[in-house]
Chain A
């Protein structure tokens, strides 16, 4: 019996039962519903964010003639654009803010995370395509494949099949491939529908990222299917296989993600806000305070200016000292912010490591992390946004301080104003999602675990299945 015959036979058997068709139908409805709903929601959020960004940009450029330092305090808002692939996997978006207030003297974090304004139902997760693909479809695979071999053994057709010179290895490969092709077809249709729903939107879907997601989920389904068929091949009965697989599913999708996240949190606890503020405040005390001319470092900076400009006193400076002091203050603070916010990011990465490590024993862990990463909705993409927004903050604050220093105003003249068209000369903030390689770089352990799992199941099928007894 050739492989294609085994595959065709499996498909025929699968679609012969009404319950299977019903489950397929339910899964398909769920998938289309989640895509349709998420696409509509994403479009709505994208439009709102776009409108908010335009509104804030208009306010920024329409400030008119104002003192640049007043504008530093007035600040500016930037918004995290919603990646279109969030239709598939919304990742941590509900738990990260979407807007960031940029102002002088301090670095803020993104605020107004949607989950904050929601009841605790938000902790049950969203019915999204990622939930269907990562959690529900594997459950369907278990329901379908748990008896792939036991059924043949219980019906005594296994010995007949083996008598026809079909090795157990070939039979297992046939069944694994038969089912994997089905799941892949389902996945391909889902991604195709997603493409159709999101095509022509504000931000087109990256084909590389979408292709990466297709590969990831195909590998995931191959692994899950292979595990199910292998468990079925070593189980005494279909019931035993089903219970073992259901227990594994619960462990992998419900228990382990929570346990590893909690373990990670205990292993690398985050600073409290108060601790962070204290540390920043202590480090800033040693810096230049633009609003406090009497500090020691400010004095040293003043002296250095007298030397640089070769003038006898500060009054003779050809530039506005206030602008220079403010910028020196900013630059010192930026070093302090980089140090402390860098530490926070490191702690979060360490916490996440616990989940990454669990990928070696839990396929759901790597698929979850890689899916978020490829959809551009994981914590690293959020950091990328906040880092770029912070760079932009530093750029615009420097421009404001520079115009105050070199724009022709005198030191102490806080009523001096920039011309109204000054604001139009400052570029708008345009965030673009990094390339797919960025997602992969931050998930090397998950990729290694995926490769290891693929290798493991292939090895098990190749080397272990021929030794399995035909009758138990």
Chain B
């Protein structure tokens, strides 16, 4: 086997097309890493702008707690700092989805989802009217990230490396000569496959390590990424072995493998995608709930408003201060209850979207390319499920914050500097892979590799 590898290495160096193809993968991969990093950097830049402005507002509010009240301006600042509602308005809290290091590897759906939100009490994370500016044409074309290179281009490189490894000897008339060398043709075939697999794995490893270093990826996440890539590589080498072992001409094998590529990368995922259904009407319910609630509240008297509030939140009655004006009651009711209402509808929609994602995941046995894309995205926190988890955590946080604020406003309580400084901050759920995500995809792909190996062996012996 050692001699075979040395021979293959010499053959590789002599074949300019193969060397170019092999070197093309790291070059394209590096561009993909650059592209992914640029995308993430743009998001980080935006987050930095938001964070800087937000921290400045927080600092201003902290200073305003001790503003000089001998001047008119100072008095206003002092009053606004201690008034919980004014304070919230001046602070205009923001929260964002901090990109994980692996986002640069697999952008997933993160260019298609909002990544920062205003948590001002009248806004709602499920009813965002102003979304990030995007070019629909560009979204449709997709991203040239490392996941794309591995999922789409890597199999093509494997096909280019393997389609003629058995037929070339027959076509060149060297098959007979080789069989007299004391090593079976099958062993030569396997050796060649392993040699080429080694080349591909080397490229994958170099790219994964370079990307991980460039993007400060945690070692655990980087290793998981690498293992997923190996799994996918093994799957395609398994397929290549199966078709090469059928002993067709190189052109026919290439044709068959490209056809499999078309089916697995284009036909099956697009077929499953076209079976998806989105409920656009449900989102209108959220938007409608917001404005209808506002109209209904406008028609209610102070007494009715208070009664309505206490029916939903009986604990508020104890701290309710009778002198609160109708406008404040309306504002509290709108901020707190409209938010709950919108959250309820929004979460129902998200649950339906998650259920749909799970339904699609069930087809990973016939859709291995998407199964790998899912693993990559989940690991990078760029899948729909990651975004939904983020949005749910965010809406919980916003509701909690609004609840505190509403209670204070109902009770007519002011806020002090220490309480303001100790406000809980939003904690983003960490992306990652659950064991169940891994097990099924890994099982499916390993079974495929074993089946391909057995079937390939069978064809090789029979034909």
Q: CA separation between A254 and B142, bound complex, in Å?
A: 10
Q: CA separation between A124 and B141, bound complex, in Å?
A: 10
Decide if A348 touches B148 in the complex (CB within 8 Å).
no
Which among B81-89, B108-116, B301-309, B430-438 touches the partner chain? Answer: B108-116
Decide if B46 touches A239 in the complex (CB within 8 Å).
no
Complex partner residue of A116 from B112, B265, B274, B369, CB under 8 angstroms? B112
Which among B182-190, B191-199, B247-255 touches the partner chain? Answer: B247-255
Complex partner residue of A121 from B138, B266, B276, B284, CB under 8 angstroms? B276
How many positions in chain B have a CB within 8 Å of any CB in the partner chain? 74
Residues of A within 8 A of B270 (CB): 124-128, 131
Known: A124-B269, A258-B141, A271-B133. A117 touches B373 (CB 8 A): no
Decide if A92 touches B276 in the complex (CB within 8 Å).
no
Is B15 close to A, CB under 8 A? Answer: no
Known: A270-B135, A351-B138. A128 touches B143 (CB 8 A): no
Residues of B within 8 A of A271 (CB): 133
Is B234 close to A, CB under 8 A? Answer: no
Decide if B137 touches A121 in the complex (CB within 8 Å).
no
Decide if A262 touches B137 in the complex (CB within 8 Å).
no
Among A255-284, those with CB < 8 Å from B are 255, 257-262, 264-266, 269-274, 276-277
Residues of B within 8 A of A250 (CB): 156
Known: A118-B356, A135-B266, A262-B35. A379 touches B135 (CB 8 A): yes
Is A453 close to B, CB under 8 A? Answer: no
With both chains docked as a complex, state the minimum distance between the C-beta of A348 and any C-beta of chain B, in angstroms.
Answer: 5
Decide if A127 touches B137 in the complex (CB within 8 Å).
no
Residues of A within 8 A of B373 (CB): 120-121, 124
Among B272-291, those with CB < 8 Å from A are 272-274, 276, 278-281, 283-284, 287-288, 291
Residues of A within 8 A of B314 (CB): none
Decide if B137 touches A355 in the complex (CB within 8 Å).
yes
With both chains docked as a complex, state the minimum distance between the C-beta of A422 and any C-beta of chain B, in angstroms.
Answer: 17
With both chains docked as a complex, state the minimum distance between the C-beta of B163 and any C-beta of chain A, in angstroms.
Answer: 9
Is B144 close to A, CB under 8 A? Answer: yes
Q: CA separation between A108 and B130, bound complex, in Å?
A: 7
Is A15 close to B, CB under 8 A? Answer: no
Decide if A74 touches B135 in the complex (CB within 8 Å).
no
**From A94, A108, A239, residue with most partner B Cβ within 10 Å:** A239
Residue-wise, chain B 241-259 has the 8 Å CB interface mask toward A (1 for contact) of 0000000011100110010
Among A337-357, those with CB < 8 Å from B are 344, 347-348, 351-352, 355
Residues of A within 8 A of B271 (CB): 127
With both chains docked as a complex, state the minimum distance between the C-beta of B208 and any C-beta of chain A, in angstroms.
Answer: 20
Is A75 close to B, CB under 8 A? Answer: yes
Is B424 close to A, CB under 8 A? Answer: no
Q: For residue A99, which residue of chain B has the nearest CB?
A: B284
Q: CA separation between A111 and B254, bound complex, in Å?
A: 44
Task: List chain A positions with a Cβ less than 8 A from chain B.
Answer: 30, 34, 37-38, 41, 45, 48-49, 51-52, 56, 59, 70, 74-75, 77, 91-92, 94-96, 98-99, 101, 108-109, 111-128, 131, 135-136, 139, 143, 237-239, 242-243, 246, 250, 254-255, 257-262, 264-266, 269-274, 276-277, 344, 347-348, 351-352, 355, 378-379, 382
Return 27 A-B CB contacts under 8 Å, by A number: A37-B274, A48-B280, A52-B280, A74-B294, A92-B140, A95-B139, A101-B129, A112-B283, A117-B278, A118-B278, A118-B353, A118-B384, A119-B109, A119-B385, A121-B272, A121-B360, A127-B267, A127-B270, A136-B267, A238-B251, A242-B255, A261-B142, A272-B132, A273-B130, A276-B133, A351-B138, A355-B141
